[in-house]
Structure 1
Amino acid sequence: MTDAVEYDVVVLGAGPTGENVADRARAAGLSTAVVESELVGGECSYWACMPSKALLRPVMIQADARKVPGVRQDVQGPLDVEAVLAHRDDYTSHWKDDGQIAWLNGIGARLYRGQGRLHGPRKVVVEGFEGEHHVLTARHAVAVCTGTRAVLPDLPGLAGARVWTSREATSAQAAPGRLVVVGGGVVGTEMATAWQALGSRVTMLVRGERLLSRMEPFVGEHVADALTAAGATVRTRVRVASVQRADATGPVIVVLDDGELIETDEVLFAMGRAPRTDDIGLETVGFEPGSWLPVDESCRVDGTEWLYAVGDVNHRALMTHQGKYQARIAGAAIAARAQHVPLLETDRWGAHSATADHDAVPQVVFTDPEVAAVGLSLAEAEAAGHRVRAVDQDIAAVAGAGLYVDNYRGRARMIVDLDREVLLGVTFVGPGVGELLHSATVAVAGEVPVSRLWHAVPAYPTISEVWLRLLEAYRDGR
């Protein structure tokens, strides 16, 4: 069966980004089709944000409780792994997308299940799971929101070793006795934290000199120290040469480039992401299959009038919340262009410019201790040519930190633009700092002058009083 239907907007990919593009298009009165080849809700709902945080939340609570008098004696035993995994399964809706489909239907978007491919300008052909074909034409826009997939290195033995990627790490039904994690970024550190606490003996193999190398140097030091104290082994400046698994139930042998052999039950490769654009028909509209798609500030693909790339596929800021932010920007731009309304393209922080992708990207790493950062690090600010000063503060010196847990260990840094007296970036590491991040995001995105921040009074006694200590250190030249 083949049918041909015309819509105002066609969205490829029904993850959080695609869902939000569809929502914004429908809110503007535009007819919208959404095409999805897997589960509606995407990577975040089933194999990334939601399951990983469901795994990590009990770990963080237990770690904090063990540092609080009157509670620590009751939480010394191991976590209930079965209960933690069941909690994780609930948060993934047991890998069923009925609720997400109902939401799409509720906003009035039409869902097509199957593989969608571009077939020339403004046209998408959908090959359904039961052999049906749909030809969708977009009057105004096609939005590519297909996200990314895990990158696996080209190593001898890898193809037959059945290694883990982020998907297997977040959906595993049991804790492996031994787990090797290759990579020291966000996925690697979070999954090392989770599975170590759930009973695995974790070894991290990191090519660089430290964990979380894109963040301030002290961040990786805090996380590595905590992982080591929890029983994990963290090894830096090592490279994997090959992997071997002899049979379905046997161990994996990880071979390092110096010939050392490490035996493990499972090995997770957490070495970055690649765009899921290899099989969506990019070649029919002049782009290389499998490539990232360059876009303008409204997320419209360079050189086109109708094609948008929103979320991870444009390689601007590979995080769910940034994809949803971009979707709001792109949806507003698509609607404005459809209605022949001039775009606010010259307004840096206007409704049609995804400026935060450059200047105010927030990120929380749910390790123990937590990491929270927004904007530029010191190295990034200096590389961009800003005249800056880094102001550091030991969070443990704040009364609220001592009340939060005994022997609190953490650090805060703010990066001040000395020419404009505004913040370019803020980083926290320590227990509970994730909830501090939005205040920093508002300060950075709002370009709030340091002089005005003095009037944002932190409540006593909370960890947020670290803001006052940072401002005092800046004023006093410390």
Structure 2
Amino acid sequence: MADRTRAAGLSTAVVESELVGGECSYWACIPSKALLRPALARADARRVPGLRRSVGGPLDTEAVLAHRDHFTGDWKDDGQVSWLESVGARIHRGHGRLDGPRRVTVTGPEGEHHVLTARHAVAVCTGTRAALPELPGLTGAKPWTSREATSSHRVPGSLAVIGGGVVATEMATAWQALGARVTVLVRGGGLLPRMEPFVGEHVAAALTEAGADIRTDTAVAAVVRDGGTGPLTVVLEGGDHIDADELLVATGRAPRTDDIGLESVGLEPGSWLPVDETLRVTGSDWLYAVGDVNHRALMTHQGKYQARVAGAAIAARARGTAPLETGPWGAHSATADHSAVPQVVFTDPEAAAVGLTLAEAQKQGRRVRAVDYDLGNVSGAGLYADGYRGHARMIVDEDRRTLLGATFVGPGVGELLHSATIAVTGEVPLDRLWHAVPSFPTISEVWLRLLETYRG
């Protein structure tokens, strides 16, 4: 957003209490993918004839962690700061709080105070934190959240994971590959419940084959850890228990809005911030909420997308010369947040999805058809890996004959997703998709197979 507002000629200040670049750069997407890439590369290599024996040993833990540390800048933000300074944004280190309309008070590292006053807009981009459930003994047990799971410099001998979503499955994949004995505890249903059901089934099967213990429909009653150090015990409802060296709790996120002065502008501290399509907070003409904090689509790439939209909207309102394009897919409308949200889960196998699932489309009352295909039957998949296992589904709007959603699970499918995102975002008619010829022999040939299946 700072880049967009500066490009429009607006003076811009960024207030940061931790590291410039935020959660993704230091405790989420970047370190997690740096941990996962060696694990996925080894898994892929083991499926290729001629390579299995060469990659049969353990990962080089020291090298993997050093690779992760490199991509986080060793938890220093010099590079991000240099970039912000290069576009002319001013950085204020410290804790920022709203202090009435268009005012932000910054408390610096030494307790000094500064007051910033905005002529046009203030944007809240404080993101989220891990939400811990209320479990007896949990806080005192000092569990891992996503931050500790992505930044640990030690591989635990055993790791228990509470949760079945993206953080839970990705970190189970990474630490299992690095040698930890992993147990995943899911309270209800299967893994990755927000995606098509077959995705979680594939991921659970692969984790189990790798040695993880996946327990669904399992509720945790308490956690016991003497002094917050050493091994711990996860007590399950019914009396059973699991012993582990570390416990990762990945059960959701909460907005980081509890101490940013929302009450000074009539908003509830600790709440999500609802916004309109231009990312302006409902009921305000100057306050914006961008990224996870508005609860529209809690993913880094969507936050960046929102920042582009909000930056353009702020600049347009500051000029006051032209009406904003706030209709669907307009220049000042974050339409993709509810129509075409792409996501890749970097487990083994990978999972990738965009748009609506079958259940979501049916819940909206749309007349749809799900078209499925076994990815293992695509020639490119067979060449990619021996015994390739995967699945693809597209959701077709039967009235408009366009794509509402697509989901893939299988090794390497993350790179299939952008083509699906373009098809969904562009509302490309299926008859035109027939003329988008996939190269042979690639996994992307699944598009042809899906269309053939649809036509029958």
Q: TM-score, normalised by structure 2?
A: 0.99
Residue 402 of structure 1 aligns with which residue?
382
Give 3-state SS (helix, strand or coil) of 1:187's partner.
helix
The superposition leaves residues 399-448 of structure 1 with CA deviations (integer Å, 9 ceiling, x where unpaired) of 10001000000000000000000000000000000000000000000000
Give 3-state SS (helix, strand or coil) of 2:120's partner.
strand
CA distance in 1, matches of 2:408, 2:230: 42
CA distance in 2, matches of 1:311, 1:93: 23
CA distance in 2, matches of 1:342, 1:217: 46
- Taking only aligned residues, the RMSD between alpha carbons, in angstroms, comes to 0.7
CA distance in 1, matches of 2:295, 2:139: 27
- Within-5 A mapping of 1:364-403: 364-403=344-383
- Aligned pair 1:457/2:434, yes or no? no
- Within-5 A mapping of 1:282-297: 282-297=262-277
CA distance in 2, matches of 1:347, 1:326: 15
Which sits farther off after the overlay, 345-354 or 184-193? 345-354
CA distance in 1, matches of 2:150, 2:323: 41
- Aligned pair 1:93/2:73, yes or no? yes
Q: 1:419 to 1:47 in 2, by over 3 A?
A: same
Residue 13 of structure 1 aligns with which residue?
none
Matched to 2:236, the amino acid is L
- Within-5 A mapping of 1:238-317: 238-317=218-297
- Aligned pair 1:436/2:416, yes or no? yes
CA distance in 2, matches of 1:347, 1:354: 9
CA distance in 2, matches of 1:110, 1:275: 25
2:187 maps to which of 203, 207, 221: 207
Q: CA shift at 1:158, angstroms?
A: 1.3
5+ residue gaps, structure 2, are none
Residue 16 of structure 1 aligns with which residue?
none
- Within-5 A mapping of 1:45-444: 45-444=25-424
**8 Å CA contact retained: 2:163, 2:250:** yes
The superposition leaves residues 111-152 of structure 1 with CA deviations (integer Å, 9 ceiling, x where unpaired) of 000000000000000000112111000000000000000011
**8 Å CA contact retained: 2:316, 2:324:** no
CA distance in 2, matches of 1:461, 1:175: 39
**8 Å CA contact retained: 2:326, 2:332:** no
**8 Å CA contact retained: 1:343, 1:352:** no
The superposition leaves residues 51-104 of structure 1 with CA deviations (integer Å, 9 ceiling, x where unpaired) of 000000000000010010011110011111111001000000000011111111
CA distance in 2, matches of 1:302, 1:313: 13
Give 3-state SS (helix, strand or coil) of 2:316's partner.
helix
Q: CA shift at 1:345, angstroms?
A: 4.0
CA distance in 1, matches of 2:90, 2:190: 47
CA distance in 2, matches of 1:343, 1:201: 58
CA distance in 2, matches of 1:47, 1:256: 29
CA distance in 2, matches of 1:148, 1:183: 17
CA distance in 1, matches of 2:339, 2:382: 32
**8 Å CA contact retained: 2:278, 2:326:** no
Q: CA shift at 1:356, angstroms?
A: 0.3
Q: 1:254 to 1:24 in 2, by over 3 A?
A: same
Matched to 1:474, the amino acid is Y
Q: CA shift at 1:249, angstroms?
A: 4.1
1:33 maps to which of 13, 17, 21: 13
Q: TM-score, normalised by structure 1?
A: 0.95
1:448 maps to which of 428, 446, 452: 428
**8 Å CA contact retained: 1:47, 1:167:** yes
**8 Å CA contact retained: 1:254, 1:261:** yes
CA distance in 2, matches of 1:461, 1:444: 24
CA distance in 2, matches of 1:385, 1:340: 40
Give 3-state SS (helix, strand or coil) of 1:78's partner.
coil
Q: CA shift at 1:262, angstroms?
A: 1.1
Residue 9 of structure 1 aligns with which residue?
none
Give 3-state SS (helix, strand or coil) of 2:441's partner.
coil
CA distance in 2, matches of 1:345, 1:388: 30
Identity of aligned residues (%): 75
**8 Å CA contact retained: 2:208, 2:214:** yes
The superposition leaves residues 366-420 of structure 1 with CA deviations (integer Å, 9 ceiling, x where unpaired) of 0000000000000000001110000000011111000100000000000000000
CA distance in 2, matches of 1:395, 1:261: 39
2:22 maps to which of 34, 37, 42: 42
Residue 18 of structure 1 aligns with which residue?
none
CA distance in 1, matches of 2:404, 2:134: 38
Matched to 1:370, the amino acid is E
CA distance in 2, matches of 1:341, 1:382: 42
CA distance in 2, matches of 1:195, 1:189: 10
CA distance in 1, matches of 2:264, 2:324: 31
Matched to 2:116, the amino acid is L
Give 3-state SS (helix, strand or coil) of 1:329's partner.
helix
**8 Å CA contact retained: 2:277, 2:326:** no
Q: CA shift at 1:299, angstroms?
A: 0.2
**8 Å CA contact retained: 2:5, 2:11:** yes
CA distance in 2, matches of 1:250, 1:282: 40
Q: CA shift at 1:209, angstroms?
A: 1.4
CA distance in 2, matches of 1:344, 1:416: 32
CA distance in 2, matches of 1:467, 1:43: 35
The superposition leaves residues 176-200 of structure 1 with CA deviations (integer Å, 9 ceiling, x where unpaired) of 0000000000000000000000000
